[in-house]
Structure 1
């Protein structure tokens, strides 16, 4: 076990767990915040890519660059939808729905990668769906307007785009993580520039700017550096488990600092979602060979 890599991954996930808290204090909408985040990520990670010498040994492939661009579109949309969900819903509810991504990976893998849906996957999907209804509130599903205004759709789209990011990234084998992220965040800058309203940056307080810079520099640049520096040294199962540090930190901050007080049904919904996901990623014992 690579203890240093475990520590780096745990720190990265713990820091990322506070992104919702930072987001709601930036004072700017989702599109502009993601635009700033892409700028910071592009500068920081391309700098790390250059100073570590990775640019000298990069194996470029036209096909993989195009796939990385597609992956970047999904990644940027994932961020925009997540931040828009934070504008409408509590951090705990948003993060719980966002972490449905592994379930979407199972479904998309069945539809597009010809992977078989196991009984384990079907049960987890049903449990997570029930959890989603409980956590958002059954009343929200009684009309389209209520559902749209709840932020549920934004959170769900964010989880779907994150799952598409993971599915697409599976097809990229040779590009380094640094070059991949450089391409993805550069795509984000180009995508969002026409939609940015730079007037939202007028009149921001010093506190707003601290949170904006923190979101860009810490939650994007530093966190992605820790993540990329550790992920390839850890087994997939351990990475999956450590990613749960993120929602745990997010929910704790929401309850302790922002005074989020879930109802009994919402608490049950959160438990069902994370229970279903844990059941999904739990390694299955191989049958003994006779």
Structure 2
């Protein structure tokens, strides 16, 4: 086990876990914040990619570039929807729903790739669905307006877009992680520029700018550097386990700093969601017979 790589990955996930806290203190809408994030990622990661000389080793192909662009669209939408969810609901609830992405990947594989659902997969989907209902509250499902105002739809769309990013990205095998992210963030800049209202940046406080720049430089540039630099040195199962550092930190910050106090039902919902996801990772699969 590469201890340095593990420390880097853990640090990356821990820092990323604070992104919700930063987001709610920026004072700007989700679209503008993601635009800043894309610019920072393009400059920082693109600079590292060029400075290292790795761009000379890239194996470009039309199909992989197309896949990368599609991934970029889903990645940017994922960020925008997640930040919108932070504006409407507690960070803990939004992050819990957001982390349903691996479950959606399984469902997509079943419907699109005709992969057989396993007993483990079916149990996980049911458990995570129940957890989602409990964490939002049954009263939020009483009407469409209540559901939209709760932020549930934004969080769910964010999880779906993240799942689509992972699903489409599975077919990209030759481009490096730096090339992949560089192209995706360029896509984000092109997508969001026509929607920008630069007036939202006027009248911001020094602390607003601290959180905005922090989200761009720290949570995108620095965190992605740590993530990519350690990813290739760690086995998949270790990466899958360390990913859970992110939501744990997010929930702890929400409780300790933003005074989020989950009800017993919400706490049960959080446990069910992460229990279902962890069950998927560690439980041997038994395929359902046709």
TM-score of the pair, normalised by structure 1: 0.97
Q: What residue in structure 1 maps to residue 228 of structure 2?
A: 228
Is the 1:49–1:55 Cα contact (8 Å) retained in structure 2?
yes
Is the 1:41–1:216 Cα contact (8 Å) retained in structure 2?
yes
Superposed counterparts of 1:1-290, under 5 Å: 1-282=1-282, 284=284
Distance in 2 between residues matched to 1:114 and 1:4, nearest whole Å:
39
Shift of 1:209: 0.3
Is the 2:41–2:182 Cα contact (8 Å) retained in structure 1?
yes
Distance in 1 between residues matched to 2:266 and 2:129, nearest whole Å:
13
Runs of 4+ residues over 6 Å off in structure 1: none
Distance in 2 between residues matched to 1:283 and 1:186, nearest whole Å:
39
CA displacement 1:38-84 (0-9 Å, x = unmatched)? 00000000001011110111111111011100000000000000000
Structure 2 unaligned spans of 5+: none
Aligned residues: 286
Q: Secondary structure in 2 aligned to 1:27?
A: coil
Is the 1:237–1:283 Cα contact (8 Å) retained in structure 2?
no
Shift of 1:114: 2.1
Shift of 1:161: 0.3
Shift of 1:284: 2.3
Is the 2:140–2:150 Cα contact (8 Å) retained in structure 1?
yes
Distance in 2 between residues matched to 1:120 and 1:283, nearest whole Å:
7
Is the 1:26–1:209 Cα contact (8 Å) retained in structure 2?
yes
TM-score of the pair, normalised by structure 2: 0.97
Structure 1 unaligned spans of 5+: none
Distance in 1 between residues matched to 2:169 and 2:232, nearest whole Å:
14
